[in-house]
Amino acid sequence: MKLILAVIRIAQMGATKAALAEAGLPSFTAMPVLGRGRGHGDLEKINRAKESENCPAILEDVMSFVPEEPRLKSKRMITLVVTDDKKDLAVETLIRANRTGKSGDGKIFVVEALNSYSVHSGISGNETLD
């Protein structure tokens, strides 16, 4: 059993939902998340800050989690648990639905899940998954 965490652009949520449903993986959880990657613009600002007397102010702007620019919005994190045999399908589907070819398309993490339990029925294991 695998736990898949995918951080994607908000604008791709519709395409992602449709792609996962079409692939037979309709069940997931999504939540808003904030974070930052290592975008090239940030690296340039950090290097400039090292040479500036105004270093703390510049770094405060660079390290912000909530960008001021409207085009750089927060992301969504999708969490889904799949059986081992559906891991590749889930990852390939997420990549296909979210790849724009630009920096910031997101990241996917695959983690071993030890077990799954249904609170309603009390059953555990793969039977709890779609």
All domains of the chain, ordered by start, with CATH?
A: 1-34+74-130 (3.30.70.120), 36-72 (no CATH)
Measured distance between the N- and C-terminal CA atoms of the chain, rounded to whole angstroms:
12
Q: In this predicted structure, what is the pLDDT of residue 61?
A: 55
Q: Split the chain (130 residues) into runs of 10 and give each run's mean pLDDT.
A: 96 96 96 74 60 59 51 79 97 97 91 95 91
Helix (H, G, I), strand (E, B) or coil at 38: coil
Q: In this predicted structure, what is the pLDDT of residue 43?
A: 59
Torsion, CA 35, CA 41, CA 71, CA 10, rounded to 10: -30
H/E stretch holding 62 reads: helix 55-62
Quickly tell me which residue has 């081992």 as its tokens. 84
Rounded to an integer, what distance in angstroms lies between the CA atom of residue 124 and that of residue 100?
38
Q: Supply 65's token pair.
A: 């989690």
Q: Supply 38's token pair.
A: 């290592």
Q: In this predicted structure, what is the pLDDT of residue 72?
A: 47
Indicate the pTM of the whole model. 0.74
Environment class of 84 (CB within 10 Å of its CB; exposed 0-12, middle 13-18, buried 19+): exposed
H/E stretch holding 89 reads: helix 87-98
Rounded to an integer, what distance in angstroms lies between the CA atom of residue 48 and that of residue 26?
46
Q: In this predicted structure, what is the pLDDT of residue 103?
A: 82
Q: In this predicted structure, what is the pLDDT of residue 108?
A: 98
DSSP assigned state of 81: E
